[in-house]
Amino acid sequence: MSNDKKSGSTGKAIESAIEKAFDPLASAIKRATQPQATTPAPAVPGKPGLKVSPLAVPFPAIPPIGGVEITTARAGFYKHQRDDLTIFRFARGTTCAGVFTRHKVGSAPVDWCRRQLDAPGGGLDVRALVVNAGCANAFTGKAGADAARRTASEVAKRFGCRQRDVMLASTGVIGVLLDDRKISAKLPEVEARLDSDVPPTEQWAAAGRGIMTTDTFPKGSYAEATIDGFKVRIAGIAKGSGMIAPDMATMLGFIVTDASIHPTVLRALLGLHVRTTFNSVTVDGDTSTNDTCLLFATGASGAPRIGRVGDRRLKDFSVALDKVMLDLAHQLVRDGEGASKFVRITVDGASSPASARKLAKSIADSPLVKTAIAGEDANWGRVVMAVGKTEEPVDRDHLAIKFGPHVAAVDGAVSPTYDEAKMSAYMKRSEIDITVDVGSGRASATVWTCDLTKGYIEINGDYRS
């Protein structure tokens, strides 16, 4: 980021602050598009040449979770050397539920999983998950569907289960047909690796790396809970860096627990928590054709089986699951393509939760707001723009805006205590909070996003190369 100090001082006239706030050509855009000063970073397993996000977090330690084994292999969907095939093998009786993109051009693996899980008895005995990176197998018609089916069939033969008990996910370039022969050819190697003695944390970390595309670090999370006195474990990985504005799921997210939970209950839990986690983050406002989040329960913990939605014994588990999902969702934003700022947008005083959410998303998705943040400019006029364009109920004369603890606007006008120097210093932080009160009610919502820098254009300008 540029380190140019912003002009202005504590005594800057209110009129100047107003003029700057509403100037659509504020200097922030120029600063945000200047070459970024970077420090050397190690190579990452995703796209060659990318540097690890400055907002990256370390992969967590994950202890053994009974009933699941994971491995990766190089199937060759990428030209460069990297693992691009990830396979989970589950114990008999593992249950599963999923949420998927509502994109009108869903991928073949999304269609496959939805069909199997929605069928009578679906999700009651899922034995495998196959994930490939480098090819989305989306917008590939009947040929893509056939490739997905053949993949499930080959894995089912190896694992001694039915096709319907194999879940599929793909990520990568849209419009490219999956060459399922590359997966089939690797299955003997995969079986051998699954039977080898690899520490659990490394299994999960390798899986996190194996599903990456333009991600710059593997994303994982872990939590524990109790069900009726029994300790249960929850672990998950996710991938996503661009084309992130999830609609019922994240780009790809896979969560495993050793609890024993019926698919109907798993589905209810996912539906409960996805709205405030994966569906409350955005990088660029674009929803993927392949968004998939799958939750598996192996039952290996010995905890009693939960078969009823609303069972009070799930209270602690529900909290822990939400923690894992929110952690993974935040990591997607931290790895947003070209991102240098992690931003939390909170809207208060809305007429309804839905209205609050729409207002927060409008701010979080605004290119003008995001470039101003990249330029370290507290351009609250752009926030006003993003709020007003939604046509949601807003009381203009009671509108208030804060950046962290600093008040930019109150009662529909610039704050009499506005301090440009303090505001500029706050905007240099790597984590930014923006709070807006629209004065129309009592509802609130929070959405997480990142800034928009020149790096986003560089990454996506040659995505297929």
Read off the tokens for 396: 């203009």
How far apart CA 346 and CA 403 sit, in angstroms, is 11
Q: Which residues pair with 213 in a beta bridge?
A: none
Q: List C-alpha distances in Å: 386 to 379, 410, 436, 454.
A: 12, 17, 11, 21
How far apart CA 86 and CA 73 sit, in angstroms, is 7
The residues, ordered by sequence, that sit 6+ positions from 418 with a Cβ below 8 Å of its Cβ are 14, 17, 407, 408
From 173, 102, 98, 101, select the one nearest 138 (Cα to Cα).
173
How far apart CA 123 and CA 96 sit, in angstroms, is 5
Contact yes or no for 165/156 (Cβ under 8 A) = yes
Of the candidates 86, 216, 250, 371, the residue annotated as catalytic is 250
Contact yes or no for 275/87 (Cβ under 8 A) = no
* 250 is known as an active-site residue: yes
Q: Which residues pair with 224 in a beta bridge?
A: 233
Contact yes or no for 434/345 (Cβ under 8 A) = yes
> HSE of 3 in the Cβ direction (CA atoms, 13 Å)?
2
How far apart CA 236 and CA 223 sit, in angstroms, is 9
Contact yes or no for 128/94 (Cβ under 8 A) = no
Q: Concatenated DSSP letters for 317-330? A: HHHHHHHHHHHHHH
Q: How many degrees, rounded to 5, is the angle at CA 321 between CA 320 and CA 326?
A: 100
CA 386, distance to chain mean position in Å, is 23
The catalytic site residues sit at 250
